[in-house]
Amino acid sequence: MTKFELAMQSIDAVHAQDPHASSETGPTLPAELIYAHRMTETLARIHPQASELLKLAARAQHIRRWTVPRSGFPAGKSGYHRWRTTLQQKQAALAGEILATCGYAPDQTARVQALIRKDNLRADVEAQALEDTACLVFLEHHFADFRAKHGDAKIIEIVRKTWSKMSDVGRTAALQLPLAPEHKQLIERALSQVTP
C-alpha cells in the first residue's frame, strides 16, 4: 500500500465514525464518508490532473465536521465565520496528524492543511479547485435538502453566494449538472440577479 492509499484509508476511517448515517446512495453509510467520496469523484471529474495533495485535501476537508456544530456559535454572519474558521483549523490539524503518520513530509502536510483552510483562496489555483468541488457537491447532492428546509428566497441567496465563490471552470461545470427542472429554474433566478 502506498502512503497515498494509506492516507486515504486513514481519512476514511475517521469519516466512518460519523454518527449521522445516510442511505440515499444505497446501503446505510456514515454521512461524512459519503460526502468525502463525492468530493473525490467530483474533483476527478472537473480536475482529472489534480495533484496528490489536492486529492488528499478534498477527501479530508470535512473531517470530523460533526464535532463542531454550527449551533455552538452565535447566530449571524460573524458567528458563521467564527464557526467556519474554527472548523477549518481543527480539520487541518487532524489531517496534518494523519498525513504525518502516513509518511508525508512536513512541507506536504503543511500544503494540504493550507488547502483545507482555503488560504489565499483567490490566488491559489488548487484552493480554488477545492472550493469549486465543494460548491458542485452542494449543488448536485444537497440542494434539494436545503430547499426543503429553507424557502426559495433563502435558496436563491445561497446560490448567489455559492456562485460568487466559484471560478469559471466551476461555474461551467455547475451549469452542466443533472438537476431537477425546478432546481435549475431556481438557479437561473439566482443567476439573473448576479452581476458578472
Is 194 a residue whose pLDDT tops 70?
Answer: no
pLDDT recorded at residue 142: 86
State mean pLDDT over 32-36: 96
Is 196 a residue whose pLDDT tops 80?
Answer: no
Residue in the structure block whose three cell numbers are 476511517: 13
Cell (9 digits) for 170:
466551476
pLDDT recorded at residue 179: 87
Instruction: Determine the angle formed by the axes of helices 77-101 and 106-117, rounding to 10 degrees.
Output: 160
Of 87-101, 139-153, 155-169, 177-191, give the range with the top mean pLDDT. Answer: 87-101
Per-residue pLDDT band at 54 (split at 50, 70, 90): very high
Neighbours of 23 (CB within 10 A): 9
State mean pLDDT over 69-94: 93
How far lies 159's CA from each of 155, 162, 184, 187, 188, in Å?
6, 5, 11, 7, 10
Q: Counting beta carbons within 10 angstroms of the beta carbon of residue 174, is it exposed (0 to 12), middle (13 to 18) or buried (19 or more)?
A: buried
Instruction: Note if the pTM is more than 0.85.
Output: yes
pLDDT recorded at residue 16: 97
pLDDT recorded at residue 124: 96
